[in-house]
Structure 1
């Protein structure tokens, strides 16, 4: 009991201090938590519990949040062409939909603040295990790998949403309070270092056989994506191949309604609603955000755009299984998650990384190395699962540029409303202008970056606003 009290105390201090470090940018004195920290990292059980606390916090964190209104799922979906705002009076969402985000937008601030909260917590873990002389080597290695993965994961979204941002690697009050932004190259270097180290430290197996914990394959999967974004095709192919090769652990689920179940074999990393909600509510935020309320439809704030629905062929199983229709409002909605409001009956976890992405990462990496046959093979894995004709049968001699477009479109249909895939890929492939200028008359090329929150600029004079804001 005592160890749990210490762990909860440390997590509370970490959370409060993290909030100060972001929303007040450390303009107050740092709390003295040295004694509590030393106690928590004095044995394996309490140290592991502290890491579990960060996983739970990810369910509550605005930027992750399992798909709630403040999440990247929703906000990046609006910024791209996946989601539409159903309430014209909700200016926070309307600005994302129209790509006119103002620096004082509260939803934009919530992304920024919550990401740095999580980064502070991971830094606290890393510092705690570094000074600990009591943890076993195995636990110490795994905790370091998990913390570095989550830090890298969070910075991946920060750098892709905002560009140059402060690279905070300590919990030092004075150092962080006036941190300047680092270049995108520096941030990507740190992401790569963290993930490479995590791969070396982590086990192939999941702790407690639960995919809400990070393992080696999760780190390889994210690093494969990072190398794809950096144009390092050989590394992207190698790492995605490593994950795909783990056939005893991962597989594409033929039944699309099983993909997002808790501990699905397609899942590489998931977030559970149980710890984040205190164990009472057992539905994901994706479920309650996207599925229309059965009585008060006006409580549902977003729906799928006509454009995304019309990209699917009629026989596409993803259209049939992952897209719902609300007759009263004549709106389509994401239906990947089926549980909107259960209590005490966990069936689904929020999906973060899954195997299908690794096939499409490898397809693109192979294509860019002129291995069209290999790219077609990977693409056809996803098309076959969706019930579509195989490219190897219909167009085996397809041109490289045509195949590239097919891979991008397959990513659009496979990952709609999942972690901003569409938004990030439009930017990465330099198609944001051509695609989104048709959606928004006021589109500007500088809209590919979100604004640095005005509140942060006021607190830290060393931060500069992104161009165009």
Structure 2
């Protein structure tokens, strides 16, 4: 048994405060047991002199990303919420009120799910900044450990801000734990946020090694930073820079497309760049528990008819990545990428955040935008052929880009909100969602800034249009 410190920010943000609690960790259990601090409580700086405690602080952040923050695989995560917000999922439950607001495109600035996305994100950013500040000051850590911890922390800070800017538009980019600064922080333009994302990721990539810490690729390495950097460049329409990053990853021999489509989402898949640790021996993904159902009508959600009709005939992903339930009259489909929705003794699947297929499609899009048609087709066809689809041949630039967007829609469905992010960044949300979503408005491409945050900090004004 060993004693570490767990850093817990307040639930209000960006006005954040630090509570330092002593936490007891038992070697056979991940869970934290919180007790009151002693009178001679150690300072945060001393805590971060020990590599084990910094590792524990990072592990806690990853656990929150998996279990409760915006990238969790449950009903409060972006995959589930944005799948209903767009056209991937149909809601059947009458008990998921907050999901209903997303499904109906009827969000208010008082929506608790929106507040949850905002608060959990800035709480994690605060915890990450605390790691950055104290790791920099630590004198007992080796330089190798410092580089690893700082590289991961800069990546996490960029990763969370990336989602915030794509969900909310102009946002604060918080880089400090100073309470006085954070209570008055103002929103930056999306362009300013993107530059800060790039700065953090370039630094992260320079600090992280190519090797992974531990097993199962659950901690980011250099190539994971490069993957997010490529995505940022792609969204920012810096095609050449996006292509440079994706080319580096595709040239790395550690990652290979899994030719067996049923094995893509297994824990040891060679195309996984980064995934969340399952947390408990034998546990699998929250995603599978959220989506899989065994009788109809669905108790929660199902894949929408609009989405299911988007599959090409013969696409192996229809057969292998969706499951079907019928009552003899109606048939409903659910995401079946993750197939284990209970404990299996030995963990078989972990929730994947970055995988090689996205890198191929980002490279294809960058090449298409740069006029490199043959290279774009080669990369696009690598994904199509894995799905048993015929290779596409020479085509004009516009048609090629549409084929790439279609491939992203099918390949990445219900993964980390890709559908919404793609519709937003390509200005296609109105054209594709208005015909099937009666309440969809152009301003819905941004979520509302939580009203409670505007009250706490007027510098966050003005509210996003439409709210």
1:295-342 per-position Cα deviation (integer Å, ceiling 9, x unaligned) = 7x6784221101111111231111010011121473111000001121
* Partner residue in 1 for 2:11: 19
Alignment of 1:260-271 (within 5 A): 260-271=265-276
- Note the C-alpha offset of 1:233: 0.6
Alpha-carbon distance in structure 1 between the residues aligned to 2:96 and 2:273? 35
- Note the C-alpha offset of 1:377: 0.6
Secondary structure in 2 matching 1:238: helix
* Partner residue in 1 for 2:245: 239
Alpha-carbon distance in structure 2 between the residues aligned to 1:375 and 1:32? 51
Secondary structure in 2 matching 1:144: helix
* Partner residue in 2 for 1:412: 409
* Partner residue in 1 for 2:315: 316
Asked if 1:428 corresponds to 2:420, the answer is: no
Change (3 A) 1:338 1:406: same
* Partner residue in 1 for 2:259: 254
Alignment of 1:31-430 (within 5 A): 31=19, 35-65=42-72, 67-88=73-94, 90-247=96-253, 249-274=254-279, 279=280, 282-292=283-293, 294=294, 300-328=299-327, 330-342=331-343, 344-392=345-393, 396=394, 398-430=395-427
- Note the C-alpha offset of 1:358: 0.7
* Partner residue in 1 for 2:457: 460
Q: Could you state the TM-score of these two structures normalised by the residue count of structure 2?
A: 0.91
Alpha-carbon distance in structure 2 between the residues aligned to 1:229 and 1:219? 15
Secondary structure in 1 matching 2:144: helix
1:358-398 per-position Cα deviation (integer Å, ceiling 9, x unaligned) = 11101010011111111101100000100000013xxx2x1
Alpha-carbon distance in structure 1 between the residues aligned to 2:319 and 2:271? 19
| 1:18 and 1:121 in contact (8 A); partners too | no
Higher helix share: 1
**Mean CA deviation greater in 280-289 or 301-310:** 280-289
Alpha-carbon distance in structure 2 between the residues aligned to 1:121 and 1:336? 32
- Note the C-alpha offset of 1:30: 4.6
Q: Could you state the TM-score of these two structures normalised by the residue count of structure 1?
A: 0.91
Change (3 A) 1:257 1:438: same
- Note the C-alpha offset of 1:280: 5.9
| 2:311 and 2:318 in contact (8 A); partners too | yes
Asked if 1:439 corresponds to 2:436, the answer is: yes
1:235-293 per-position Cα deviation (integer Å, ceiling 9, x unaligned) = 1111001001112x11111112211111321100101221xxxx26702110100001x
1:112-149 per-position Cα deviation (integer Å, ceiling 9, x unaligned) = 11111111111011011011011000010011000100
Secondary structure in 2 matching 1:349: coil
Alpha-carbon distance in structure 1 between the residues aligned to 2:100 and 2:53? 44
* Partner residue in 2 for 1:451: 448
Gapped runs of 5+ residues in structure 2?
22-40
- Note the C-alpha offset of 1:20: 4.2
Alpha-carbon distance in structure 2 between the residues aligned to 1:376 and 1:72? 30
Secondary structure in 2 matching 1:253: coil
Alpha-carbon distance in structure 2 between the residues aligned to 1:56 and 1:385? 32
| 1:360 and 1:379 in contact (8 A); partners too | yes
| 2:92 and 2:298 in contact (8 A); partners too | no
| 2:83 and 2:89 in contact (8 A); partners too | yes
| 1:289 and 1:300 in contact (8 A); partners too | no
- Note the C-alpha offset of 1:424: 0.6
| 2:211 and 2:221 in contact (8 A); partners too | yes
- Note the C-alpha offset of 1:189: 1.0
Secondary structure in 2 matching 1:46: helix
- Note the C-alpha offset of 1:458: 2.3
Secondary structure in 2 matching 1:307: helix
Gapped runs of 5+ residues in structure 1?
none
| 2:12 and 2:119 in contact (8 A); partners too | no
* Partner residue in 2 for 1:5: 3
1:61-107 per-position Cα deviation (integer Å, ceiling 9, x unaligned) = 33111x10000001111111101111245331122112221112111
1:24-47 per-position Cα deviation (integer Å, ceiling 9, x unaligned) = x34xx6546883422321122322
| 1:18 and 1:120 in contact (8 A); partners too | no
| 1:290 and 1:300 in contact (8 A); partners too | no
- Note the C-alpha offset of 1:58: 1.6
| 1:112 and 1:158 in contact (8 A); partners too | yes
- Note the C-alpha offset of 1:53: 2.1
Aligned length, in residue pairs: 445
Secondary structure in 1 matching 2:339: coil
Alpha-carbon distance in structure 2 between the residues aligned to 1:73 and 1:169? 27
Higher strand share: 2
Secondary structure in 2 matching 1:19: coil
**Mean CA deviation greater in 141-150 or 86-95:** 86-95
